[in-house]
């Protein structure tokens, strides 16, 4: 085993959209696990939109990554050394290993994986944080009822595809929004959405709204919010009385100003947003899944068998090599991936 590892650190904070020079690939000494810790060789790391937030130093639900600090994130790998009775050498493991080839972590922060049950990469997507986000957000705050209509953007992403498939199974009309005709085809053919609209085909919120109105003639009962921007502006006036909006993200606004005029909410003012919530008796809930890990066992018990049986479809978009993680992350933020974004590290 080499006594060197590789990691990607935050070189500088982005001004708007991240660029490659915000990241730096570094060599570092191989860390040694302390008591209760494990040393892991990372095989695959996850790329998720929330990581954009960690690059800023604005107040948010988690502390920012410091300049020069390792980019954070969930990964899977194999245990090389264990100082914990919970793991032994060779175990497959999920944990907060960050953007790195190797990592040391407290064993209590890690979860053992059974590679015979499902591919270990599913722990990063459909059976991991994004899948739990879709499941918890839809069930807890969306409260889907048969015959209702749901809209979710980033429809082929790991959150959107989970939301769409669960809602479809509950008897809802499910409308996806995605960037590009190929993704829309994937949403319908692979994930079973009733309709998927290509937001790039609509220049503004108004034209997107007209298309949505046609796709959702009765209006929208649940808008599962993960993008903000133009899509929110388009959907909002279509919300039905007693509608629900779970909010797990707003990727269009993470690089505020970076995605055109509508992304900054030019077409949508705070009073208009607030008034829509009032006059339609909407229930809006922001949430971040790290507050709800207690539901993970219940989620896994319900969803893992459906993944195994193929009832819930999976799609992964795998980039080769840690060095290519920054570009893959930049692509993720502009919708360059189809399916769960993963980097194969080792």
Chain residues in the site for a second copy (CB under 8 A): 59-61, 225, 228, 232, 241, 247-250, 253, 256, 264-265, 268-275, 277-288, 291
Q: In angstroms, what is the minimal distance from the CB of 190 to a second copy? A: 29
The residue among 155, 125, 163, 64 whose CA lies nearest residue 318 is 125
Q: In angstroms, what is the minimal distance from the CB of 131 to a second copy? A: 19
Tokens of 340: 């769960």
**Nearer residue to a second copy within complex by CB, 119 or 276:** 276
**Nearer residue to a second copy within complex by CB, 257 or 305:** 257
How many angstroms separate the CA atoms of 127 and 124, rounded? 7
Q: How far is CA 6 from CA 26, 91, 110, in A?
A: 6, 21, 21
Tokens of 86: 């919970």
**Nearer residue to a second copy within complex by CB, 25 or 277:** 277
Q: In angstroms, what is the minimal distance from the CB of 46 to a second copy? A: 20
**Nearer residue to a second copy within complex by CB, 270 or 301:** 270
**Nearer residue to a second copy within complex by CB, 225 or 316:** 225
Provide the 10 A C-beta neighbour count for residue 186. 22
Q: In angstroms, what is the minimal distance from the CB of 296 to a second copy? A: 18
- Report the b/e string of 190-213 with b at 16+ CB within 10 A: bbbbbbbbbbeebeebeebbebbe
The residue behind tokens 């319908």 is 188
Q: In angstroms, what is the minimal distance from the CB of 346 to a second copy? A: 34
**CB neighbours of 319 closer than 8 A, spacing ≥ 6?**
325, 327, 328, 341, 342, 343, 344
Q: Are strands 23-29 and 4-10 parallel, antiparallel or unpaired?
A: antiparallel
Q: In angstroms, what is the minimal distance from the CB of 223 to a second copy? A: 12
**Nearer residue to a second copy within complex by CB, 74 or 137:** 137
């Amino acid at each position: 085993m080499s006594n060197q590892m590789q990691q990607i650190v935050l070189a500088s904070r982005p001004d708007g959209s991240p660029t490659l020079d915000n990241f730096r690939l570094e060599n570092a000494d191989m860390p040694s696990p302390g008591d209760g810790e494990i040393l892991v060789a990372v095989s695959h790391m996850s790329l998720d939109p929330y990581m954009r937030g960690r690059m800023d130093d604005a107040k948010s639900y988690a502390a920012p990554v410091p300049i020069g600090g390792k980019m954070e994130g969930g990964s899977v790998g194999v245990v090389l050394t264990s100082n914990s009775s919970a793991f032994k050498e060779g175990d497959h493991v999920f944990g907060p290993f960050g953007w790195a080839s190797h990592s040391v972590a407290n064993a209590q922060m890690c979860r053992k994986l059974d590679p015979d049950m499902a591919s270990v990469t599913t722990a990063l997507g459909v059976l991991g944080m994004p899948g739990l986000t879709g499941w918890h957000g839809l069930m807890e705050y969306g409260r889907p009822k048969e015959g209702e209509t749901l809209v979710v953007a980033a429809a082929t992403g790991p959150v959107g595809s989970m939301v769409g498939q669960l809602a479809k199974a509950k008897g809802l009309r499910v409308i996806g929004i995605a960037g590009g005709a190929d993704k829309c085809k994937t949403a319908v053919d692979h994930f079973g959405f009733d309709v998927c609209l290509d937001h790039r085909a609509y220049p503004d919120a108004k034209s997107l709204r007209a298309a949505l109105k046609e796709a959702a003639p009765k209006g929208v009962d649940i808008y599962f919010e993960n993008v903000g921007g133009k899509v929110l502006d388009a959907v909002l006036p279509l919300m039905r009385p007693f509608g629900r909006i779970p909010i797990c993200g707003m990727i269009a606004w993470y690089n505020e100003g970076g995605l055109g005029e509508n992304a900054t909410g030019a077409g949508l003012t705070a009073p208009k947003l607030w008034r829509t919530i009032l006059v339609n008796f909407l229930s809006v809930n922001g949430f971040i899944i790290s507050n709800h890990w207690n539901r993970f066992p219940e989620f896994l018990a319900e969803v893992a068998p459906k993944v195994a049986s193929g009832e819930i479809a999976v799609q992964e978009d795998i980039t080769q090599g840690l060095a290519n993680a920054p570009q893959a992350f930049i692509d993720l933020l502009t919708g360059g991936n189809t399916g769960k974004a993963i980097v194969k590290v080792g």
